[in-house]
Amino acid sequence: PYDWFKKMRKNAPVSFDPERNCWDVFCYEDVQMVLQNFRLFSSKRNGNVQTLLDMDPPTHRRYRNFVSQAFTPKTIQELEPRITAITHELLAPLLGKRKIDMVAEIAYPLPVIVISDMLGVPSHDRKMFKEWSDILVAGTQSASPNVMYKLFAKQEKAMLDLQTYFKRKISNRQINHANNIISTLMTAEVGGDSLSMDELLSFCFLLLVAGNETTTNLIANTMLTLFEQPDILNQLYRDHSLIPAAINEVLRYRSPFHGMNRFVTEDIQLKGMNLKKGQEVMAWIGSANRDESVFDKPDVFDINRSPNNYLSFGAGVHYCLGSQLAKLEAKICITEMLKAIPTMKLDTSKHLRLISSTFMYGYKELPVILGSE
Ligand code: HEM
């Protein structure tokens, strides 16, 4: 997509697609403005579940104040030993193997297990939980109404099952005293106000759709970029303290998430174009991160880049709630892989396939050969 982004930044930085009734915005300053300016660009959507992502202030502010309590820097930092243990569990069975798929075997399961732990899901329910999570994030490129309908029906059922599961746990008080997101949010109070059961459940749902695939892509995109740049990979092998800087630059260079939408609230002009109230706007984060007017040599992967104000976690009031968690998971996962696997390389005999989503950016598999020839 990066060639297309470059062409659009140059020739049509704000352009309209009549088929989608949607404006596409490609330059850094415009993408940032669309994401930040909730008065002109609303997040209100007509999905069947309303989450934090679909709210504007002041409703958004009230809800976000609650859920932030479960994502403080301290809460996240305290997860480090647990994330390390899960990473070891995933790595152990792979070490004797010669070829692995880094997506299926590590990058995909890690965030799902971490979030199910954070939600207080016991390990015997993990498989079921993972199935729901898979269904909820599944996309389809098929335009056939029949295929779409079947997928939506399946997703609705998974959502209901998930809600019933958490509702039952909450009312049986199985979760109440445990130290996890649900118990924190059940008891959270802001100025005498508290979250309703429906609000709590929609947040659990949001965590699955917002946090899992994105983190999978961050881990896999980082490893792919390192395989392409063996000198940097070797540098990281020698000095693990450089790993967070590499992950940070991957966030810009291969953002796990490429585009976020908004809806125009009043007729306005942008770069000479007339945007009409009610139209959709797609803010192309993946393009903003390569904007040559903001980043020097944007197509070069440079772990020393500073400043590095990428927009991969969004901007403004919706700034990603899980950014610290995602970075911590990626740091631990990559550090532990480099410690456990002394040499590895990409299996270039296989053709890499991008995942079938326009907005998520990552690969279906990452075939890796462990050890030297
Ligand atoms: C919001 C990206 C990981 C939870 C966002 C937004 C972006 C984003 C771009 C803003 C959406 C908007 O402006 O409308 C990412 C990326 C991730 C990641 C690239 C991984 C590398 C996570 C994780 C969690 C999470 C691990 C939680 C477990 C959320 C939530 C919001 C959000 C709850 C909504 C915040 C709000 O509306 O106030 N994320 N995310 N994300 N993210 Fe993430």
Give the domains, in start order, of the chain with CATH numbers.
Answer: 2-118+214-370 (1.10.630.10)
Ligand 1 neighbourhood includes 320 CB (under 6 angstroms) = yes
Q: Which of 42, 204, 313, 317 to mutate to test the pocket of ligand 1 (most atoms within 8 A of CB)?
A: 313
Computed over every residue of the chain, the mean pLDDT equals 91
Ligand 1 neighbourhood includes 321 CB (under 6 angstroms) = yes
64 Cα nearest atom in ligand 1: 38
111 Cα nearest atom in ligand 1: 26
- Does the pLDDT of residue 179 top 70, yes or no? no
Q: How confident is the model at residue 152 (pLDDT cuts 50, 70, 90)?
A: confident
Ligand 1 neighbourhood includes 325 CB (under 6 angstroms) = yes
Are 325 and 70 in contact by the 8 Å Cβ rule? The answer is no
Distance 288 CA to ligand 1 centre (A): 17
In this structure, what token pair is assigned to residue 218? 């961050």
Are 300 and 220 in contact by the 8 Å Cβ rule? The answer is no
Ligand 1 neighbourhood includes 87 CB (under 6 angstroms) = no
Q: Which of 321, 333, 357, 359 to mutate to test the pocket of ligand 1 (most atoms within 8 A of CB)?
A: 321
Distance 264 CA to ligand 1 centre (A): 22
114-139 tens-digit pLDDT? 998 888 888 888 888 888 888 887 76
In this prediction, residues 202-231 reach a mean pLDDT of 93
308-324 tens-digit pLDDT? 999 999 999 999 999 99
What pTM was estimated for this model as a whole?
0.94
- Rounded to two decimals, the ipTM of the complex is 0.98
Q: What is the pLDDT of residue 239?
A: 98
Residue bearing the CA closest to ligand 1, atom 30: 321
In this prediction, residues 208-235 reach a mean pLDDT of 95
Residue bearing the CA closest to ligand 1, atom 35: 318
Amino acid letter, residue 121: V
